[in-house]
Amino acid sequence: MNYENEEFFAPGHGMCAGCGAPIIVKWILKLAGPNTIVTNATGCLEVATTAYPRTSWRVPWLHIAFENAAAAAAGVEAATKAKGEKLNIIAFGGDGGTVDIGFQALSGMVERGHNVLYVLYDNEAYMNTGIQRSGATPWGAWTTTSKVGTVNPIGKIRPKKPIAKIIAAHDAAYVATANPAIFQDFKKKVQKALDTEGAKFLHVISSCTTGWRHDPSKTVEIMRLATDTGIFPLYEIENGDFENMRITYKPKKFKPVEEYLKTQGRFRHLVKNPEYVKKIQEDVDAWWAKYGKYYRH
Protein backbone atom coordinates (compact mmCIF):
# COMPACT_ATOMS: atom_id res chain seq x y z
CA MET A 1 0.00 0.00 0.00
CA ASN A 2 1.38 3.40 -0.96
CA TYR A 3 0.48 6.37 1.22
CA GLU A 4 2.73 8.97 -0.41
CA ASN A 5 -0.23 11.13 -1.29
CA GLU A 6 -1.65 11.05 2.24
CA GLU A 7 -0.65 13.27 5.12
CA PHE A 8 -0.30 11.74 8.57
CA PHE A 9 1.52 14.80 9.88
CA ALA A 10 -0.98 17.57 9.48
CA PRO A 11 -0.06 21.10 8.45
CA GLY A 12 -0.72 24.00 10.78
CA HIS A 13 1.82 22.96 13.42
CA GLY A 14 4.12 25.44 15.09
CA MET A 15 7.49 24.26 13.82
CA CYS A 16 9.63 27.05 12.35
CA ALA A 17 9.67 27.74 8.65
CA GLY A 18 12.71 25.97 7.26
CA CYS A 19 12.98 23.43 10.11
CA GLY A 20 14.29 20.07 8.95
CA ALA A 21 12.29 17.94 11.40
CA PRO A 22 8.79 18.23 9.83
CA ILE A 23 10.20 17.20 6.45
CA ILE A 24 11.68 14.09 8.03
CA VAL A 25 8.58 13.21 10.07
CA LYS A 26 6.13 13.85 7.26
CA TRP A 27 7.97 11.53 4.89
CA ILE A 28 8.66 8.79 7.39
CA LEU A 29 4.94 8.68 8.20
CA LYS A 30 4.00 8.62 4.51
CA LEU A 31 6.26 5.60 4.10
CA ALA A 32 5.05 3.93 7.29
CA GLY A 33 1.34 4.49 6.69
CA PRO A 34 -1.53 4.49 9.18
CA ASN A 35 -0.72 1.23 10.94
CA THR A 36 1.83 3.06 13.07
CA ILE A 37 2.28 4.29 16.62
CA VAL A 38 4.72 7.10 17.38
CA THR A 39 6.52 7.92 20.61
CA ASN A 40 8.20 11.28 20.88
CA ALA A 41 10.87 12.64 23.21
CA THR A 42 10.32 16.07 24.71
CA GLY A 43 11.64 18.71 22.33
CA CYS A 44 10.59 21.12 19.58
CA LEU A 45 8.80 18.41 17.64
CA GLU A 46 6.62 17.48 20.62
CA VAL A 47 6.01 21.01 21.88
CA ALA A 48 5.20 22.56 18.51
CA THR A 49 2.87 19.82 17.23
CA THR A 50 0.65 19.01 20.22
CA ALA A 51 -0.50 22.22 21.87
CA TYR A 52 -3.60 20.88 23.65
CA PRO A 53 -6.29 20.49 22.41
CA ARG A 54 -4.80 20.57 18.91
CA THR A 55 -2.52 18.02 17.30
CA SER A 56 -0.69 17.49 14.04
CA TRP A 57 -0.55 13.73 14.45
CA ARG A 58 -2.96 11.57 12.49
CA VAL A 59 -1.40 8.38 13.86
CA PRO A 60 -1.49 7.41 17.56
CA TRP A 61 1.16 9.43 19.33
CA LEU A 62 2.66 9.26 22.83
CA HIS A 63 4.92 11.66 24.64
CA ILE A 64 6.07 10.86 28.18
CA ALA A 65 9.28 12.77 28.91
CA PHE A 66 12.63 13.84 27.54
CA GLU A 67 14.88 10.84 28.06
CA ASN A 68 12.59 7.92 27.45
CA ALA A 69 11.16 7.84 23.92
CA ALA A 70 12.97 4.50 23.42
CA ALA A 71 11.63 3.03 26.67
CA ALA A 72 8.14 4.29 25.87
CA ALA A 73 8.38 2.61 22.47
CA ALA A 74 9.59 -0.59 24.14
CA GLY A 75 6.49 -0.57 26.36
CA VAL A 76 4.20 0.08 23.40
CA GLU A 77 5.87 -2.76 21.53
CA ALA A 78 5.56 -5.19 24.45
CA ALA A 79 1.86 -4.36 24.81
CA THR A 80 1.36 -4.75 21.07
CA LYS A 81 2.92 -8.22 21.29
CA ALA A 82 0.72 -9.02 24.28
CA LYS A 83 -2.30 -8.08 22.19
CA GLY A 84 -1.03 -10.28 19.36
CA GLU A 85 -0.94 -7.36 16.94
CA LYS A 86 1.71 -6.10 14.56
CA LEU A 87 2.42 -2.54 13.51
CA ASN A 88 5.16 0.03 12.99
CA ILE A 89 6.43 1.56 16.21
CA ILE A 90 8.52 4.65 15.60
CA ALA A 91 10.29 6.78 18.20
CA PHE A 92 11.37 10.32 17.34
CA GLY A 93 13.98 12.14 19.38
CA GLY A 94 16.25 15.11 18.89
CA ASP A 95 19.98 14.88 19.50
CA GLY A 96 19.78 15.90 23.17
CA GLY A 97 17.02 13.39 23.83
CA THR A 98 18.96 10.69 21.98
CA VAL A 99 22.72 10.95 22.33
CA ASP A 100 22.73 12.55 25.80
CA ILE A 101 19.84 12.24 28.25
CA GLY A 102 18.03 9.46 26.35
CA PHE A 103 21.14 7.44 25.57
CA GLN A 104 20.68 4.81 28.29
CA ALA A 105 17.06 4.09 27.39
CA LEU A 106 18.02 3.90 23.71
CA SER A 107 20.91 1.53 24.42
CA GLY A 108 18.63 -0.71 26.49
CA MET A 109 15.89 -0.75 23.88
CA VAL A 110 18.34 -1.67 21.11
CA GLU A 111 20.11 -4.32 23.21
CA ARG A 112 16.77 -5.98 24.00
CA GLY A 113 15.99 -6.01 20.30
CA HIS A 114 12.54 -4.43 20.40
CA ASN A 115 10.89 -4.18 17.00
CA VAL A 116 11.12 -0.38 17.02
CA LEU A 117 12.44 2.19 14.57
CA TYR A 118 14.20 4.97 16.46
CA VAL A 119 14.68 8.15 14.45
CA LEU A 120 17.15 10.75 15.62
CA TYR A 121 16.56 14.11 13.99
CA ASP A 122 19.90 15.69 14.68
CA ASN A 123 20.10 19.46 14.65
CA GLU A 124 23.28 19.33 16.68
CA ALA A 125 22.27 21.23 19.83
CA TYR A 126 19.48 21.68 22.42
CA MET A 127 17.41 23.89 20.16
CA ASN A 128 14.14 23.74 22.12
CA THR A 129 15.77 25.31 25.17
CA GLY A 130 17.68 27.81 23.05
CA ILE A 131 20.77 26.42 21.31
CA GLN A 132 22.81 24.77 24.08
CA ARG A 133 25.60 22.38 23.12
CA SER A 134 24.86 18.66 23.13
CA GLY A 135 26.97 15.57 22.61
CA ALA A 136 26.03 15.85 18.94
CA THR A 137 27.26 19.42 18.50
CA PRO A 138 30.25 19.38 16.11
CA TRP A 139 33.70 20.70 16.91
CA GLY A 140 33.92 24.43 16.49
CA ALA A 141 30.21 25.23 16.63
CA TRP A 142 29.05 28.26 18.56
CA THR A 143 26.16 27.56 20.91
CA THR A 144 24.86 29.47 23.94
CA THR A 145 26.86 27.12 26.19
CA SER A 146 29.92 26.82 23.96
CA LYS A 147 30.43 30.50 23.42
CA VAL A 148 33.22 31.99 21.43
CA GLY A 149 35.49 34.55 23.08
CA THR A 150 39.08 35.59 23.64
CA VAL A 151 39.89 32.62 25.88
CA ASN A 152 37.93 30.10 23.80
CA PRO A 153 38.00 31.18 20.14
CA ILE A 154 36.70 27.77 18.95
CA GLY A 155 33.28 27.22 20.51
CA LYS A 156 32.66 23.52 21.18
CA ILE A 157 36.04 21.92 21.71
CA ARG A 158 35.01 18.26 21.56
CA PRO A 159 34.00 16.35 18.44
CA LYS A 160 30.50 15.01 17.76
CA LYS A 161 29.53 11.74 19.45
CA PRO A 162 29.49 9.01 16.76
CA ILE A 163 26.02 7.83 17.71
CA ALA A 164 25.29 5.74 14.60
CA LYS A 165 28.46 3.72 15.12
CA ILE A 166 27.70 3.35 18.81
CA ILE A 167 24.23 2.00 18.10
CA ALA A 168 25.58 -0.23 15.33
CA ALA A 169 28.03 -1.62 17.88
CA HIS A 170 24.97 -2.94 19.75
CA ASP A 171 24.53 -5.27 16.73
CA ALA A 172 21.28 -3.44 15.97
CA ALA A 173 19.35 -4.98 13.09
CA TYR A 174 19.69 -1.85 10.97
CA VAL A 175 21.52 1.44 11.42
CA ALA A 176 21.80 4.18 8.84
CA THR A 177 22.65 7.83 8.51
CA ALA A 178 20.33 9.73 6.24
CA ASN A 179 19.75 13.18 4.83
CA PRO A 180 16.34 14.31 3.58
CA ALA A 181 18.14 16.54 1.07
CA ILE A 182 19.52 13.37 -0.54
CA PHE A 183 15.95 12.27 -0.90
CA GLN A 184 16.02 8.96 -2.77
CA ASP A 185 18.68 7.60 -0.42
CA PHE A 186 16.66 8.83 2.58
CA LYS A 187 13.45 7.15 1.34
CA LYS A 188 15.22 3.89 0.59
CA LYS A 189 16.66 3.75 4.10
CA VAL A 190 13.36 4.55 5.80
CA GLN A 191 11.68 1.80 3.80
CA LYS A 192 14.46 -0.65 4.56
CA ALA A 193 14.28 0.18 8.27
CA LEU A 194 10.51 -0.32 8.27
CA ASP A 195 10.90 -3.66 6.48
CA THR A 196 13.56 -4.92 8.92
CA GLU A 197 12.55 -6.89 12.02
CA GLY A 198 14.23 -5.79 15.27
CA ALA A 199 15.74 -2.57 16.60
CA LYS A 200 16.45 -0.01 13.88
CA PHE A 201 18.16 3.35 14.19
CA LEU A 202 18.15 6.20 11.69
CA HIS A 203 20.45 9.12 12.30
CA VAL A 204 19.00 11.93 10.18
CA ILE A 205 20.57 15.34 9.82
CA SER A 206 18.06 18.11 10.44
CA SER A 207 18.84 21.78 10.06
CA CYS A 208 17.65 24.30 12.67
CA THR A 209 17.47 27.73 11.13
CA THR A 210 17.64 29.60 14.43
CA GLY A 211 20.42 27.48 15.89
CA TRP A 212 22.50 27.07 12.78
CA ARG A 213 21.76 30.65 11.88
CA HIS A 214 20.76 30.65 8.28
CA ASP A 215 17.92 31.87 6.09
CA PRO A 216 14.89 29.52 6.29
CA SER A 217 14.84 29.20 2.51
CA LYS A 218 18.30 27.58 2.53
CA THR A 219 17.53 24.48 4.64
CA VAL A 220 17.61 21.82 1.96
CA GLU A 221 20.56 23.44 0.23
CA ILE A 222 22.59 23.52 3.44
CA MET A 223 21.66 19.98 4.49
CA ARG A 224 22.72 18.84 1.03
CA LEU A 225 26.06 20.61 1.47
CA ALA A 226 26.60 18.69 4.72
CA THR A 227 26.79 15.51 2.67
CA ASP A 228 28.34 16.95 -0.50
CA THR A 229 31.27 18.31 1.54
CA GLY A 230 31.68 14.88 3.17
CA ILE A 231 30.89 16.23 6.65
CA PHE A 232 27.75 14.11 7.08
CA PRO A 233 28.43 10.85 5.22
CA LEU A 234 25.55 8.52 4.38
CA TYR A 235 26.05 4.87 5.25
CA GLU A 236 24.31 1.84 6.67
CA ILE A 237 25.39 -1.00 8.95
CA GLU A 238 23.35 -4.16 9.44
CA ASN A 239 23.56 -6.40 12.51
CA GLY A 240 26.72 -4.69 13.69
CA ASP A 241 28.67 -5.92 10.68
CA PHE A 242 31.13 -3.04 10.34
CA GLU A 243 33.22 -4.97 7.81
CA ASN A 244 30.30 -4.82 5.43
CA MET A 245 29.14 -1.32 6.19
CA ARG A 246 27.97 0.45 3.04
CA ILE A 247 28.42 4.07 2.12
CA THR A 248 25.30 4.56 0.05
CA TYR A 249 25.92 7.95 -1.50
CA LYS A 250 28.99 9.84 -2.60
CA PRO A 251 29.04 13.14 -4.49
CA LYS A 252 30.79 13.04 -7.88
CA LYS A 253 33.19 15.63 -6.52
CA PHE A 254 33.45 16.66 -2.86
CA LYS A 255 32.97 20.35 -2.18
CA PRO A 256 35.36 22.06 0.26
CA VAL A 257 34.00 22.12 3.84
CA GLU A 258 34.19 25.89 3.83
CA GLU A 259 31.21 25.99 1.49
CA TYR A 260 29.11 24.36 4.20
CA LEU A 261 30.61 26.30 7.11
CA LYS A 262 30.19 29.72 5.57
CA THR A 263 26.44 29.24 5.13
CA GLN A 264 25.84 29.23 8.89
CA GLY A 265 26.22 31.83 11.60
CA ARG A 266 27.26 29.21 14.15
CA PHE A 267 30.55 28.74 12.25
CA ARG A 268 31.15 32.41 11.44
CA HIS A 269 34.15 32.66 13.80
CA LEU A 270 35.72 29.54 12.25
CA VAL A 271 35.51 30.73 8.69
CA LYS A 272 37.55 33.79 9.65
CA ASN A 273 40.46 31.55 10.63
CA PRO A 274 41.96 29.37 7.86
CA GLU A 275 43.57 27.11 10.49
CA TYR A 276 40.18 26.03 11.79
CA VAL A 277 38.76 25.45 8.34
CA LYS A 278 41.86 23.41 7.51
CA LYS A 279 41.43 21.28 10.64
CA ILE A 280 37.83 20.47 9.74
CA GLN A 281 38.80 19.69 6.14
CA GLU A 282 41.56 17.37 7.40
CA ASP A 283 39.16 15.58 9.74
CA VAL A 284 36.72 15.03 6.89
CA ASP A 285 39.48 13.87 4.53
CA ALA A 286 40.76 11.48 7.19
CA TRP A 287 37.28 9.98 7.61
CA TRP A 288 36.95 9.37 3.89
CA ALA A 289 40.50 8.01 3.62
CA LYS A 290 39.60 5.47 6.27
CA TYR A 291 36.02 4.59 5.29
CA GLY A 292 35.79 5.60 1.61
CA LYS A 293 36.39 2.01 0.55
CA TYR A 294 32.94 1.13 1.89
CA TYR A 295 31.26 3.05 -0.89
CA ARG A 296 29.46 0.48 -3.02
CA HIS A 297 27.88 1.36 -6.34
Partner 1 sequence: MRTMIRGNESIAYAFKLARVQVVPAYPITPSTLVPEKISEFIANGEMKAEFVPVESEHSAMSAAVGASARGVRVGTATASQGLALMHEILFIASGMRLPIVIGIGNRALSAPINIWCDHQDMMAERDTGWLQFYAENNQEGLDLGIMAFKIAEDERILLPAMVGLDAFVLTHTVEPVDMPEQSDVDEFLGEFVPHYVTLDPEKPATLGSFGFPEHYMEFKFAQWVAMERAKKVIDEVFAEFEKKFGRKYQKVTPEFTEDADIIFVTIGSMSGTTREFIKKMRAQGKKVGMVKITTFRPFPKEELKEALKNAKVVAVTERNISFGFGGAVYGELGATFANMANKPKIIDFIVGLGGRDITFKTLESVLSEAEKALNGEDVSEVNWIDVNKEAVYKSEGLQ
Stretch (H or E) spanning 177 = strand 174-178
- Helix/strand/coil for 85: coil
| Residues of this chain, 82-121, that bind partner 1 according to CB under 8 A | 82-83, 87, 104-105, 107-108, 111-112
State yes or no: residue 197 binds partner 1 (CB under 8 A).
Answer: no
Residue partners of 179: CB distance under 8 A and separation at least 6: 185, 186, 204, 205, 223, 224, 226, 227, 232, 234
- Asked if 169 interacts with partner 1 (CB under 8 A), we say no
Looking at 42-50, 121-129, 159-167, 244-252, which segment touches partner 1 (CB under 8 A)?
42-50
217 binds partner 1 per the rule CB under 8 A: no
By C-beta, is 67 or 238 nearer to partner 1? 67
3 state SS of 43: coil
Pair 94, 47: CB distance under 8 Å: no
Query: Please, what is the minimum distance in Å from the beta carbon of residue 46 to partner 1?
Result: 7
Q: What is the DSSP string of 219-256?
A: HHHHHHHHHHTTSS-EEEEETT-GGG-EEEE--SSPPP
Is residue 50 within the footprint of partner 1 (CB under 8 A)?
yes
Residue of 24, 29, 57, 281 interacting with partner 1 (CB under 8 A): 57
Site for partner 1 in 17-36 (CB under 8 A): 34-36
Residue 166 as a binder of partner 1 (CB under 8 A): the answer is no
> Taking a C-beta distance cutoff of 8 angstroms, is the pair 189, 119 a contact?
no
Q: What angle do CA 32, 88, 52 make, to 5 degrees?
A: 85
Q: Does 60 bind partner 1 (CB under 8 A)?
A: yes
Q: Does residue 71 bind partner 1 (CB under 8 A)?
A: yes
Could you say whether residue 46 binds partner 1 (CB under 8 A)?
A: yes
68 contributes a contact to partner 1 by CB under 8 A: yes
Chain-centroid distance of CA 140 in Å reads 19
What is the binding site for partner 1 (CB under 8 A)?
Answer: 34-37, 39, 46-47, 50-53, 55, 57-65, 67-68, 70-76, 78-83, 87, 104-105, 107-108, 111-112
